[in-house]
A and B are shown apart, each in its own frame.
Chain A
């Protein structure tokens, strides 16, 4: 069974794009949130759980998403799985913050 994240020797891989981008604020925040939640004094998430959540993404989504888009998806998955947030809560907060802009 081919697992989408298990990329070593993946057939048809192309040239490496060496361009780099400065992380946007949301990418840095997502990174920071993941690091904080994994920190020894909080231990809300283990890095292994984060990897597992990313690996369990729909394969097409995994390949299409950019790096931090996968992280944010995994963060949302884990927060809901652990009963810390609900999808509805997040959707509501998105609308609420939208209304404030």
Chain B
């Protein structure tokens, strides 16, 4: 005879399997997962995949693509293919870190706003509106310029502009979760409001926040690469994709210098968006509206 707990476990496992399978039924998500897997492999094994070192200079300056240099070489004779491969080690982990930071900061503030309500709520959310309202890149540029151009500061600058969306979604999630019967039930059985927040509410809002973070991963990558393109992020000689497109812009008739790093950004962002967009459909429509 199966105990109630076993039965619950079995049903839960089944539900997770179904959810997992349904992702495989979404062709865009599959394409996205494959591209991301490809980039993760490239980042992990970059020194073995790339035929040259990312900073290694040769006498072949601005050599067009050939068998020797698949993507050609740049203004210092560096192999563009090798730099693109190595670039995945900079852009991708930083984008993930950035989204993690922004989602933690935003969710915390939004969670506090939603849970405490009143004046704190007003203050936090009006501030979020303020940042949200502003053209992201102008604010990020001001922050990055003020802090001084470096990759770390570019990440911070993007976090500054990216957190409000998590705060907004988190707040509405907490507001609706607060009214749920299971939360009331836990309060009635003697849990304090803080216990209820951590053991009942937070686990139930983690899913939507994760989907939101996935949707935002593409944007984060674009912002980060954009700041580097403007010279406010990665500094030479680092093989950051946005900075590489910038060096292509300085020699725009050598199309290969800027084309390939840009394609790398496009493929990664597209993959993130394919995955995020496929998961968006699994969300509550009310939350989807809060996101877009």
Do these two chains really belong together in a complex?
no
Footprint of A on B, CB under 8 Å? none
